[in-house]
Structure 1
Amino acid sequence: MPLKELAERRNMLHRKSDAQTIVKHALDDVQIGKVALVSSFGAEAVVLLHMVAQVGKATPVIFLDTEMLFPETLAYQREVSGLLGLTDVRIIGPDRNDVLTHDVDGLLHQADTDACCDLRKTRPLNRALGEFDGWITGRKRYQGGQRAQLPLYEKEDRKIKINPLANWSAQDVQDYMGAHDLPRHPLVADGYPSVGCMPCTTRANVLEDPRAGRWRNAEKTECGIHNRPRKEHAA
């Protein structure tokens, strides 16, 4: 079945399903194939990590260590993985030769944030997803920007992306964390409602959009995890 048709059928099938059902079916869907969860271990990531752990603790989880993350994120990744008993967390970093060629001084983000994301997120993820037919993301419509019309299932290149939390609100996320007594990312209490790489993330005040601290004062709104590799750099 063509992937676009498959995504459309799954959207119809799960139009009234809850997120837990979508996660379970995605991981068991023989028509989609092998599926991984891609997680930033950021401010809201623990929700999907918990749902996936309920289905199978050996589910592949891909975590991109850009080498520019907050130390708190790295510690949180270890804490949550251990707490949930996840046994196949794959920590993926940028290619060493790529870094030495394009960002040896670690300052690429100051000149071109998209190029930095391509180097440290998009390309490593593209390689890590090579063995998978689909992947689960934590994107939500309420986050706005390119996510405002997000479907539950979508075709992207030769894979299916599954967005089980697409129609969740910020309150839904908090309610789920509270109901399951899940640990919060430590930076949230310090004024970071959305957490990315250290050089490109600032605090956001309570009157701002939660993602206002990501790439502040820039037109960029989408994380490199959800971009396609630049043609000149594609693996």
Structure 2
Amino acid sequence: MSTPSLAERRERQLAHERDRAAHLAHRAEISRTRRTTPELRVIALEAEDRFADGDTDTLLSWVAEEFGDLTAVACSMADAVLPHVVARHIPWVDTLFLETGYHFAETVGTRDAVESSMQLTIVDVQPRQSVAEQDAQYGERLFERDPALCCQLRKVEPLTETLGGYEAWITGVRRDDSPLRADTPFVTWDEKNGLVKINPLADWTFDRVLDYAAEHDVILNPLLNDGYPSIGCAPCTRRVAPGEDPRAGRWAGLDKSECGLHT
């Protein structure tokens, strides 16, 4: 197969951007009103039982019908498997990327590649303060002195504010991530954020994620093949040794294994 010319690649990109703009315009025309918190809680509790033994595609077909464009996908850009799976059911789904200001260059590159090639609408979720502003208020390298506060300021609070406009959010949490996630349900009620939480890959293994990516030519963060099975902010992520827990490289040496988004 010949390599596309620069003009062909540019035309493909323009067509991609036109498709995204057309979808956003259509979505604005059929804008839906968010249901109340009690209504959404009932839906979540019923679905938790219904999808206790979930099939990913069956679950996401229901999500598309039940929530439509009031669905958001959270993606760390360790890979694009989750948004790829979701976009097959909800094209141009809002995909939330937490722009913490501390990402690896490879992660930012993955984000850009995903936006330019997949049927997704990337939403950059920004903290209230830039890194410089945070340093001025709390001192430099807050991630070393108080990583919980740093995550709260740069991840948890911005995401909570953003999720307020949606009825459901979809995450890539898997049971094999860590012992703390071993009982992850496919559907649950997110009391903290006040919406339905969907975990369609809950029973997937890391190898299944990689196999799916290979089969569908899905973009992967190059760090996955460089000893980083779990990728967070650069200052707080190290390589993982063979046999270690996949999340052992997150906040290594600290009494911390979660950023607070899923706890």
TM-score range, shorter chain: 0.7 to 0.9
Deviations 1:36-57 (CA, angstroms, capped at 9, x unpaired): 1111111xx4111111221233
- The separation in 2 between residues aligned to 1:182 and 1:204, in whole angstroms, is 23
Structure 1 SS opposite 2:214: helix
Structure 1 spans left out of the alignment, 5+ residues: 228-235
Does the aligned pair in 1 maintain the 2:93–2:119 contact within 8 Å?
Answer: no
**With CA pairs under 8 Å and 6+ residues apart, which has the higher RCO, 1 or 2?**
1
* Larger CA deviation: 89-98 vs 173-182: 89-98
1:141 corresponds in structure 2 to 175
1:4: Cα distance to partner?
Answer: 4.6
RMSD: 2.1
Distance 1:210 1:53, change over 3 A: same
- The separation in 2 between residues aligned to 1:214 and 1:25, in whole angstroms, is 33
Structure 2 SS opposite 1:226: coil
Does the aligned pair in 2 maintain the 1:193–1:210 contact within 8 Å?
Answer: yes
Spell out structure 1 runs of 4+ moving beyond 6 A: none
- The separation in 1 between residues aligned to 2:119 and 2:190, in whole angstroms, is 30
2:165 corresponds in structure 1 to 131
- The separation in 2 between residues aligned to 1:72 and 1:153, in whole angstroms, is 31
Matches within 5 A, 1:113-124: 113-124=147-158
Deviations 1:196-233 (CA, angstroms, capped at 9, x unpaired): 00000001112211111111011211123335xxxxxx
Distance 1:154 1:46, change over 3 A: same
Deviations 1:39-88 (CA, angstroms, capped at 9, x unpaired): 1111xx411111122123321111101000101100001112222132x2
2:64 corresponds in structure 1 to 27
1:231 corresponds in structure 2 to none
Does the aligned pair in 1 maintain the 2:54–2:186 contact within 8 Å?
Answer: no
- The separation in 1 between residues aligned to 2:186 and 2:217, in whole angstroms, is 26
Deviations 1:76-125 (CA, angstroms, capped at 9, x unpaired): 01112222132x2111111027972x433541111111100000000111
Matches within 5 A, 1:3-82: 3-30=40-67, 34-42=70-78, 45-82=79-116
The residue type paired with residue 159 of structure 2 is L
Q: Which structure has the highest helix share of the two?
A: 2
Is 2:139 aligned against 1:103?
no
* Structure of higher CA gyration radius: 2
1:11: Cα distance to partner?
Answer: 2.4
Matches within 5 A, 1:67-216: 67-86=101-120, 88-96=121-129, 100=133, 102-104=134-136, 105-157=139-191, 158-216=194-252
- The separation in 2 between residues aligned to 1:37 and 1:12, in whole angstroms, is 22
- The separation in 2 between residues aligned to 1:65 and 1:40, in whole angstroms, is 9
TM value normalised by structure 2: 0.77
1:136: Cα distance to partner?
Answer: 0.4
TM value normalised by structure 1: 0.86
